[in-house]
Chains A and B, each alone.
Chain A
């Protein structure tokens, strides 16, 4: 058994973690059913605008509450009218009977930050909003934002963490965007950190890749750094640094014409075969230029569609493989990430994983 299989064949997720449940405008004052970590959840905004996430199953006969009605701040089951408030407590049981004490549904802790709705999938008492990933330069007037997008990818989320810890793939998957021939043969450094894994490399005196070239403030060749970082359970920061050739290096100050783009990528497993993918990018130029934001958003989407095709085919290939698969040098970061995540999952309370 290879190390890739060890985790992918065991469909478990880190429960005590924040995941992105959607963009803030995905959820309004109506019932929306979502599936996260194979759990069915009904989401809505109450009359004060606060996002609510409840277990999507009435405790009576498990009818999805999303098939019922939103009544003010509460959800009424569409079968017999049991009604639940934002905390998941039953407030009404029609038909002249007492409100049964056992009638409650799990209420998931929810936070809003960076235009995204975050949901805590584990023990509610451990839900600390301070553990939501920090986004550098958020709100900095010198930095631009292209608010991202989302897509559903038909693959296990770990194939996506593999991809987001692999700067080398741009040379083959993204030949018209993030990569070019200059990216093919340069080795990366892997750093195992407490909160995730970082794989990075500098490419010296190369032609800028097509995605970035139109936005650089300097002409000619560049020194380029790719910083690929994924934090547990599946949140990536991909940093791109471009400076004029000869001026790059971790031990040197950034050149005045430096191009910086931080791409934030959030993976939310729907189940073991499906992943919801959200992203946005921060940049150190043209902060208020909507045309630049639109162009970047469009180009990122195109490039991520290239990843999607590969990820889905990899998932199918690995799920139906006839012979064994091998691991390469570039798998070091991804496999260390999988190993540590599996250890973190194994260390969680077994009751959190009883339903899997």
Chain B
């Protein structure tokens, strides 16, 4: 089953291609995402997850609030809609 990543603000939906994180995936697809540490410690890349589920590939320093994901250390578990 192909997973898709939808970027709501950009109005784009792209088929997920395995990469290290949603942050890298967004950047590779030309979608601007805030970020700083890339290691789950600074929280800069916290983004609302509007639908779907993600997996954490790295334990973040602090888990974000429900409905928010850290792009730099997650990959999609199901198709997702991000508020980007």
Q: Which residues of A contact B (CB under 8 A)?
A: 2-3, 192, 326-329, 331-332, 335-336, 339
Question: In the complex, how many residues of chain B place their beta carbon closer than 8 angstroms to a beta carbon of chain A?
Answer: 12
Using Cβ atoms and an 8 Å threshold, which residues of chain B touch A329? 37-39, 41
Contact digits for B42-53, partner A, Cβ 8 Å, 1 yes 0 no? 111000000000
Complex Cα distance, B62 from A336, in Å, reads 9
- B40 lies within 8 A of chain A by Cβ: yes
Given contact pairs A328-B37, A332-B37, A2 touches B61 in the complex (Cβ within 8 A): no
Task: List A contacts of B36 (CB < 8 A).
Answer: 326-328
Residue of A nearest to B38 (CB): A329
Q: Is the interface of A mostly helix, strand, loop or mixed?
A: helix
A321 to chain B, nearest CB (A): 16
Asked whether A335 and B44 contact (CB < 8 A) given A3-B61, A327-B36, A328-B36, the answer is no
Least Cβ–Cβ distance between A262 and chain B, in angstroms: 27
Q: Which residues of B contact A (CB under 8 A)?
A: 36-44, 59, 61-62
Task: Please give, as numbers and ranges, the residues of chain A lying within 8 Å of B43 by CB-CB distance.
Answer: 2-3
Q: How far is the CB of B33 from chain A (nearest CB, A)?
A: 15
Residues of A with C-beta under 8 A to B39: 329, 331-332
Which of A326, A328, A335 contacts B61, CB < 8 Å?
A335
Residue of A nearest to B36 (CB): A326
Q: How far is the CB of B4 from chain A (nearest CB, A)?
A: 29
Give the one of B38, B41, B61, B62 with max A CB within 10 A: B41
A3: shortest Cβ distance to chain B, in Å? 6
Cα distance A220–B61 when bound, in Å? Answer: 41
| Beta-carbon contact of B41 and A331 below 8 Å | yes
> Smallest distance from the beta carbon of B63 to chain A beta carbons, Å?
12
Q: How distant is the Cα of A2 from the Cα of B44 in the complex, in angstroms?
A: 10
Q: Which B residues are in CB contact (< 8 Å) with A327?
A: 36-37, 41-42, 44
Q: Which 7 A-B pairs have the closest CB atoms?
A: A327-B42, A332-B39, A329-B39, A335-B41, A326-B36, A327-B37, A329-B37
Chain B residues with CB under 8 A of A339: 61-62
Closest Cβ of chain A to B6, distance in Å, is: 28
Q: What residues of A have a CB within 8 angstroms of the CB of B62 in the complex?
A: 3, 339
Closest to B61 in A: A335
- What chain A residues lie within 8 Å of B42 (beta carbons)? 2-3, 326-328, 331
A331 to B60, CA, bound (A): 12
Least CB distance from A330 to B in Å reads: 8
> Contact: A326 with B41, CB < 8 Å?
no
**A1: nearest residue on chain B (CB-CB)?**
B43
CB nearest to B59 among chain A residues:
A192
Are A3 and B41 in contact, with the CB atoms below 8 A? yes
Give Cα distance in the complex from A245 to B38, angstroms.
Answer: 30
Whose C-beta in chain A lies nearest to the C-beta of B42?
A: A327
Question: With A and B bound together, what is the CA distance between A326 and B44 in angstroms?
Answer: 9
Question: CA of A339 to CA of B41 in the docked complex: distance in angstroms?
Answer: 11
Question: A336 vs B59: C-alpha distance in the bound complex, in angstroms?
Answer: 10
Which partner residue on chain B sits nearest A187 by CB separation? B39
> What residues of A have a CB within 8 angstroms of the CB of B61 in the complex?
3, 332, 335-336, 339
Query: Given the complex of chains A and B, what is the CA–CA distance between A284 and B41 in angstroms?
Result: 37
CA distance A263 to B39 in the complex (A): 27
Q: List 28 A-B contacts (CB under 8 A).
A: A2-B43, A3-B42, A3-B43, A3-B61, A3-B62, A326-B36, A326-B37, A326-B42, A327-B36, A327-B42, A327-B44, A328-B36, A328-B37, A329-B38, A329-B41, A331-B37, A331-B39, A331-B41, A331-B42, A332-B39, A332-B40, A332-B41, A332-B61, A335-B41, A335-B61, A336-B41, A336-B61, A339-B61
